[in-house]
């Protein structure tokens, strides 16, 4: 293939890379702006120095918010630390289910389905994963895929209730998925009090 024939293909590749890079930079910039706005808003809340009983200045409150975030979220601590083991890894661990639930909402919205029930689907998936982990004795190489498959299947089946109601009874998906959240939470409360209650 000649260099002249390769030029359009190279231009397309560069264009895709540029678009992907701009998308990443835009996402990071948006996140930085959200963090800056959050810090600025938190710093407007009233706060008083406990030792001197003097109100903090705005700059001191900004510094306090940033220092607290660094100490409690970013800075690693040993598991034996008196303040507890909490760092950015645990922050990501807590944030990942929320991010995946948001991704599920975004995927549904792209398909023009107003799925407001992802919280309930997430709860049912968590129940299924917990039940598989408790009641199925298996090695980790088999158990982890089973946990994921069980959680996805339970969430999909729960979402299928709303789809069935819309298909056969013309119930709006927004309404059914929203109300099914409460069904999932009540089911969780039931199984925690009876079938899956911890011994003692």
Q: What is the pLDDT of residue 171?
A: 94
Selection from 191, 164, 167 nearest residue 180 by Cα: 164
Q: What is the pLDDT of residue 76?
A: 65
pLDDT over 80 at 112, yes or no: yes
Q: What is the pLDDT of residue 168?
A: 94
The pLDDT tens digits for 62-101 are 898 888 888 777 776 665 555 555 566 777 788 888 888 8
Residue 5 — pLDDT band, cuts 50, 70, 90?
low
Cβ neighbour number for residue 86 with a 10 Å cutoff:
16
Contact 119, 101 (CB under 8 A): yes
Distance, in Å, from the CA atom of 88 to the CA atom of 61, rounded to the nearest integer, reads: 22
pLDDT over 90, % of the chain: 34
pLDDT over 70, % of the chain: 87
Length of the chain: 200
Q: What is the pLDDT of residue 199?
A: 79
Long-range contacts of 133-136 (CB under 8 A, 24+ apart): 134/196
Contact 43, 69 (CB under 8 A): no
Facing residues of 55 across strands?
48
Q: Where are the domains of the chain?
A: 1-75, 90-200
Please, is 180 exposed, middle or buried when counting C-beta atoms within 10 Å of its C-beta (0-12, 13-18, 19+)? buried
**Average predicted confidence (pLDDT) for the chain:** 85
The pLDDT tens digits for 35-71 are 889 888 888 888 888 888 888 888 888 898 888 888 7
């Amino acid at each position: 293939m000649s260099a002249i024939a390769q030029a359009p293909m190279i231009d397309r590749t560069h264009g895709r890379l540029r678009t992907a890079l701009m998308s990443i930079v835009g996402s990071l910039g948006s996140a930085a702006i959200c963090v800056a706005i959050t810090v600025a808003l938190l710093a407007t809340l009233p706060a008083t120095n406990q030792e001197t009983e003097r109100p903090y200045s705005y700059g001191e409150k900004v510094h306090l918010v940033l220092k607290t975030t660094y100490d409690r979220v970013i800075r690693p601590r040993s598991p034996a630390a008196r303040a507890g083991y909490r760092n950015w890894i645990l922050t990501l661990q807590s944030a990942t289910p929320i991010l995946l639930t948001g991704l599920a909402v975004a995927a549904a919205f792209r398909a023009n389905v107003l799925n407001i029930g992802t919280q309930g689907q997430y709860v049912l998936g968590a129940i299924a994963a917990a039940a598989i982990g408790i009641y199925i004795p298996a090695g980790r190489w088999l158990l982890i895929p089973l946990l994921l498959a069980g959680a996805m299947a339970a969430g999909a089946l729960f979402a299928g209730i709303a789809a069935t109601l819309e298909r056969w009874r013309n119930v709006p998906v927004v309404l059914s998925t929203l109300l099914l959240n409460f069904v999932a939470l009540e089911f969780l409360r039931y199984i925690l009090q009876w079938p899956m209650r911890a011994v003692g």
